Amino acid sequence: MDSRTIETFIHTAESGSFSKAAPRLNYAQSTVTSQIKALEKELGVELFTRTGKKVSLSNAGRLFLQYAYNYRSLTTDVYHRFNSESRPIGPVRLGLLESIAASPFMNTIYSFLHDNPKINITLIINTVGEIKKLLLQGDLDFAIILDDAIIHSSIIPLYTKKTPIIFFASDQLYLPAQPIKLLDLSKYPWILTEKDLITDENLKKSCRAKNNI
Protein backbone atom coordinates (compact mmCIF):
# COMPACT_ATOMS: atom_id res chain seq x y z
CA MET A 1 0.00 0.00 0.00
CA ASP A 2 1.42 3.40 -0.99
CA SER A 3 0.28 7.00 -1.48
CA ARG A 4 -0.49 6.52 -5.18
CA THR A 5 -2.77 3.58 -4.48
CA ILE A 6 -4.53 5.50 -1.72
CA GLU A 7 -5.11 8.43 -4.10
CA THR A 8 -6.45 6.05 -6.74
CA PHE A 9 -8.90 4.61 -4.21
CA ILE A 10 -10.07 8.06 -3.07
CA HIS A 11 -10.62 9.32 -6.62
CA THR A 12 -12.48 6.16 -7.59
CA ALA A 13 -14.66 6.39 -4.49
CA GLU A 14 -15.48 10.05 -5.12
CA SER A 15 -16.21 9.67 -8.84
CA GLY A 16 -17.97 6.30 -8.60
CA SER A 17 -16.24 5.04 -11.71
CA PHE A 18 -12.87 3.61 -12.73
CA SER A 19 -13.13 5.40 -16.10
CA LYS A 20 -13.81 8.80 -14.48
CA ALA A 21 -11.02 8.38 -11.96
CA ALA A 22 -8.43 7.53 -14.61
CA PRO A 23 -8.12 10.95 -16.37
CA ARG A 24 -8.05 12.77 -13.05
CA LEU A 25 -5.01 10.69 -12.12
CA ASN A 26 -3.47 10.71 -15.61
CA TYR A 27 -3.71 6.91 -15.62
CA ALA A 28 -5.13 4.41 -18.05
CA GLN A 29 -8.34 2.83 -16.80
CA SER A 30 -6.57 -0.54 -16.61
CA THR A 31 -4.05 0.98 -14.17
CA VAL A 32 -6.84 2.16 -11.88
CA THR A 33 -8.50 -1.25 -12.03
CA SER A 34 -5.29 -3.12 -11.26
CA GLN A 35 -4.40 -0.83 -8.36
CA ILE A 36 -7.82 -1.25 -6.78
CA LYS A 37 -7.70 -5.03 -7.20
CA ALA A 38 -4.22 -5.10 -5.63
CA LEU A 39 -5.44 -2.99 -2.71
CA GLU A 40 -8.46 -5.24 -2.17
CA LYS A 41 -6.21 -8.30 -2.24
CA GLU A 42 -3.83 -6.72 0.27
CA LEU A 43 -6.67 -5.79 2.65
CA GLY A 44 -8.57 -9.02 2.11
CA VAL A 45 -11.90 -7.29 1.44
CA GLU A 46 -13.92 -5.96 -1.49
CA LEU A 47 -13.89 -2.18 -1.36
CA PHE A 48 -16.33 -1.65 -4.23
CA THR A 49 -19.54 -3.21 -5.47
CA ARG A 50 -19.43 -3.43 -9.27
CA THR A 51 -22.60 -2.70 -11.28
CA GLY A 52 -21.77 -2.54 -14.98
CA LYS A 53 -19.46 0.41 -15.54
CA LYS A 54 -20.36 2.00 -12.22
CA VAL A 55 -18.94 1.15 -8.83
CA SER A 56 -20.10 2.00 -5.34
CA LEU A 57 -18.39 1.64 -2.00
CA SER A 58 -19.05 -1.50 -0.03
CA ASN A 59 -19.41 -1.31 3.76
CA ALA A 60 -15.68 -2.06 4.05
CA GLY A 61 -14.98 0.58 1.39
CA ARG A 62 -16.86 3.29 3.28
CA LEU A 63 -14.92 2.46 6.42
CA PHE A 64 -11.60 2.43 4.57
CA LEU A 65 -12.37 5.78 2.89
CA GLN A 66 -12.12 7.54 6.26
CA TYR A 67 -8.73 5.91 6.86
CA ALA A 68 -7.68 6.95 3.35
CA TYR A 69 -8.57 10.61 4.00
CA ASN A 70 -6.65 10.49 7.28
CA TYR A 71 -3.68 8.88 5.51
CA ARG A 72 -3.69 11.59 2.84
CA SER A 73 -3.91 14.35 5.43
CA LEU A 74 -1.07 12.92 7.51
CA THR A 75 1.13 12.39 4.45
CA THR A 76 0.55 15.97 3.31
CA ASP A 77 1.32 17.30 6.78
CA VAL A 78 4.58 15.33 6.99
CA TYR A 79 5.61 16.49 3.51
CA HIS A 80 5.05 20.17 4.27
CA ARG A 81 6.70 19.94 7.68
CA PHE A 82 9.95 18.41 6.44
CA ASN A 83 10.17 19.44 2.79
CA SER A 84 12.47 22.38 2.13
CA GLU A 85 10.05 23.78 -0.46
CA SER A 86 7.73 25.81 1.72
CA ARG A 87 5.45 27.11 -1.03
CA PRO A 88 2.62 24.92 -2.38
CA ILE A 89 2.97 23.31 -5.80
CA GLY A 90 0.76 21.46 -8.26
CA PRO A 91 -2.58 21.83 -10.07
CA VAL A 92 -5.71 23.15 -8.34
CA ARG A 93 -9.26 23.01 -9.74
CA LEU A 94 -11.33 25.93 -8.46
CA GLY A 95 -15.09 26.23 -8.95
CA LEU A 96 -16.59 29.72 -9.20
CA LEU A 97 -19.82 31.46 -10.04
CA GLU A 98 -19.60 33.65 -13.14
CA SER A 99 -20.39 36.75 -11.10
CA ILE A 100 -17.51 36.04 -8.70
CA ALA A 101 -15.16 35.36 -11.60
CA ALA A 102 -15.99 38.83 -12.98
CA SER A 103 -15.64 40.60 -9.62
CA PRO A 104 -12.70 42.35 -7.91
CA PHE A 105 -12.34 39.21 -5.79
CA MET A 106 -10.24 37.76 -8.61
CA ASN A 107 -7.46 40.17 -7.64
CA THR A 108 -6.97 37.94 -4.61
CA ILE A 109 -6.52 34.92 -6.88
CA TYR A 110 -4.03 36.80 -9.05
CA SER A 111 -2.05 37.85 -5.97
CA PHE A 112 -2.00 34.26 -4.75
CA LEU A 113 -0.70 33.01 -8.10
CA HIS A 114 1.94 35.71 -8.15
CA ASP A 115 3.17 34.64 -4.70
CA ASN A 116 2.92 30.93 -5.55
CA PRO A 117 4.14 30.54 -9.14
CA LYS A 118 4.25 26.72 -8.89
CA ILE A 119 0.47 26.55 -8.41
CA ASN A 120 -1.54 26.01 -11.59
CA ILE A 121 -5.19 26.96 -11.10
CA THR A 122 -7.89 25.76 -13.48
CA LEU A 123 -11.10 27.78 -13.12
CA ILE A 124 -14.39 25.94 -13.60
CA ILE A 125 -17.23 28.47 -13.90
CA ASN A 126 -20.74 27.11 -13.37
CA THR A 127 -23.95 27.41 -11.35
CA VAL A 128 -24.11 26.78 -7.61
CA GLY A 129 -25.86 23.45 -8.12
CA GLU A 130 -23.31 22.19 -10.64
CA ILE A 131 -20.36 23.42 -8.56
CA LYS A 132 -21.68 21.54 -5.51
CA LYS A 133 -22.13 18.42 -7.64
CA LEU A 134 -18.59 18.63 -9.05
CA LEU A 135 -17.15 19.21 -5.58
CA LEU A 136 -18.93 16.17 -4.13
CA GLN A 137 -17.80 14.06 -7.10
CA GLY A 138 -14.20 15.06 -6.44
CA ASP A 139 -13.92 16.95 -9.73
CA LEU A 140 -13.04 20.18 -7.88
CA ASP A 141 -10.44 20.83 -5.19
CA PHE A 142 -11.98 24.09 -3.95
CA ALA A 143 -15.14 26.07 -4.57
CA ILE A 144 -16.33 29.59 -3.79
CA ILE A 145 -20.12 29.87 -3.80
CA LEU A 146 -22.89 32.12 -2.54
CA ASP A 147 -24.99 29.59 -0.70
CA ASP A 148 -25.20 27.58 2.51
CA ALA A 149 -22.11 25.60 3.47
CA ILE A 150 -21.99 22.06 2.04
CA ILE A 151 -22.43 19.52 4.82
CA HIS A 152 -20.61 16.34 3.81
CA SER A 153 -17.93 14.14 5.37
CA SER A 154 -15.53 14.76 2.48
CA ILE A 155 -16.01 18.55 2.37
CA ILE A 156 -14.20 20.95 4.71
CA PRO A 157 -15.67 24.51 4.94
CA LEU A 158 -12.62 26.80 5.06
CA TYR A 159 -14.42 30.15 5.30
CA THR A 160 -18.04 31.26 5.61
CA LYS A 161 -19.54 34.71 5.96
CA LYS A 162 -23.12 35.95 6.19
CA THR A 163 -23.86 39.15 4.27
CA PRO A 164 -27.03 41.26 3.90
CA ILE A 165 -29.10 41.13 0.72
CA ILE A 166 -29.98 44.52 -0.79
CA PHE A 167 -32.96 44.87 -3.12
CA PHE A 168 -32.98 47.59 -5.80
CA ALA A 169 -35.94 48.53 -7.95
CA SER A 170 -36.73 51.07 -10.67
CA ASP A 171 -38.60 54.25 -9.66
CA GLN A 172 -41.32 53.27 -12.10
CA LEU A 173 -41.98 49.92 -10.43
CA TYR A 174 -45.13 49.77 -8.32
CA LEU A 175 -44.82 47.89 -5.05
CA PRO A 176 -47.37 47.63 -2.24
CA ALA A 177 -46.96 49.58 0.99
CA GLN A 178 -44.36 48.55 3.54
CA PRO A 179 -43.53 45.98 4.73
CA ILE A 180 -42.69 44.35 1.39
CA LYS A 181 -43.01 40.57 1.34
CA LEU A 182 -40.79 38.20 -0.63
CA LEU A 183 -43.96 36.84 -2.25
CA ASP A 184 -44.62 40.30 -3.71
CA LEU A 185 -41.05 40.55 -4.99
CA SER A 186 -41.22 37.11 -6.60
CA LYS A 187 -43.74 38.42 -9.15
CA TYR A 188 -41.09 40.53 -10.89
CA PRO A 189 -38.00 39.64 -12.98
CA TRP A 190 -34.67 39.92 -11.20
CA ILE A 191 -31.03 40.61 -11.96
CA LEU A 192 -28.96 38.78 -9.37
CA THR A 193 -25.47 40.14 -8.86
CA GLU A 194 -22.89 40.97 -6.17
CA LYS A 195 -21.44 44.18 -4.82
CA ASP A 196 -19.64 46.43 -7.35
CA LEU A 197 -20.71 44.32 -10.35
CA ILE A 198 -23.21 46.83 -11.79
CA THR A 199 -20.99 49.09 -13.89
CA ASP A 200 -23.55 50.90 -16.05
CA GLU A 201 -23.94 54.39 -14.53
CA ASN A 202 -27.38 54.93 -16.07
CA LEU A 203 -28.59 51.68 -14.55
CA LYS A 204 -27.24 52.72 -11.15
CA LYS A 205 -29.00 56.08 -11.32
CA SER A 206 -32.30 54.50 -12.32
CA CYS A 207 -32.30 52.14 -9.34
CA ARG A 208 -32.99 52.86 -5.70
CA ALA A 209 -32.82 50.73 -2.55
CA LYS A 210 -36.15 49.15 -1.65
CA ASN A 211 -35.28 46.84 1.19
CA ASN A 212 -32.31 45.56 3.15
CA ILE A 213 -32.48 42.25 5.06
Per-residue pLDDT at 205 exceeds 60? no
Amino acid 189: pLDDT: 76
Amino acid 22: pLDDT: 87
Pair 16, 54: CB distance under 8 Å: yes
Percentage of the chain surpassing pLDDT 70?
Answer: 79
3-state secondary structure of 52: coil
Class of domain 3-82: mainly alpha
Within 10 Å of residue 81's Cβ, how many Cβ atoms? Answer: 7
Region 124-144: mean pLDDT is: 87
Per-residue pLDDT at 210 exceeds 70? no
Q: What Cα–Cα distance (Å) separates residue 135 from each residue in 39, 95, 107, 143, 181?
A: 25, 8, 23, 7, 34
pLDDT tens per residue, range 59-74: 999 999 999 988 888 8
Q: Where in the chain is the domain with CATH 3.40.190.10?
A: 90-144
Amino acid 197: pLDDT: 55
3-state secondary structure of 140: coil
Higher pLDDT, 189 or 16: 16
Assign domain 90-144 to its CATH architecture: 3-Layer(aba) Sandwich (3.40)
Amino acid 208: pLDDT: 41
**Among 42, 37, 43, CA closest to 60:** 43
Q: In this predicted structure, which of 41-55, 137-151, 162-176 has the lowest mean pLDDT? A: 162-176
Amino acid 180: pLDDT: 72
Q: Where in the chain is the domain with CATH 1.10.10.10?
A: 3-82
